[in-house]
Amino acid sequence: MTYQLDPSVHEWTKYERLILFDGVCKWCNAWVSVTIAHDPAGKFKFATLQSEQAQRILRDLNLSATDYQTFLLLEGCRVYTKSTAALMVIRQLSRWWPLYYLCVLVPAPIRDAVYDFVARHRYQWMGRAATCRVPTQAERERFV
């Protein structure tokens, strides 16, 4: 799914590519680490959904600001969610990751059903951290 943000209201629209993720989700944090490892040019910036700015974006898009059912990919004023967001990120990573972008051929309702299944079970499978991810010294410039 794709949404639009008003750049006069949302300062994060200035970033070319910004991933908003659940900072206490260990599954999500693992994927942030994978993205950082396979984004040597540093195209992507990161922020947690728990942040004040992200909470405002979630409310403006009528998405839950407490039960994070998706991560968001902001590309300027455009906001992608669920499987579309994941595929938009994957196609820009290094090595063989862009091959997974072929999944875009699967209809979005089917892709999103799989995404929703994983999202519902991610805490069971990987757990939940007590606090949001704290970036390492080397990662700090990638987080807003």
Q: How far apart are CA 48 and CA 46, in angstroms?
A: 7
Query: What are the beta bridge partners of residue 128?
Result: 25
Determine contact, residues 38/100, Cβ cutoff 8 Å.
no
- Map out the domains of the chain as residue ranges: 2-133
Report mean pLDDT in 10-residue bins for the chain, 144 residues: 80 91 90 93 94 92 88 93 95 88 92 93 85 80 90
What CATH number does the domain located at 2-133 have? Answer: 3.40.30
Q: How far apart are CA 51 and CA 92, in angstroms?
A: 25
- pLDDT in the model for residue 11: 85
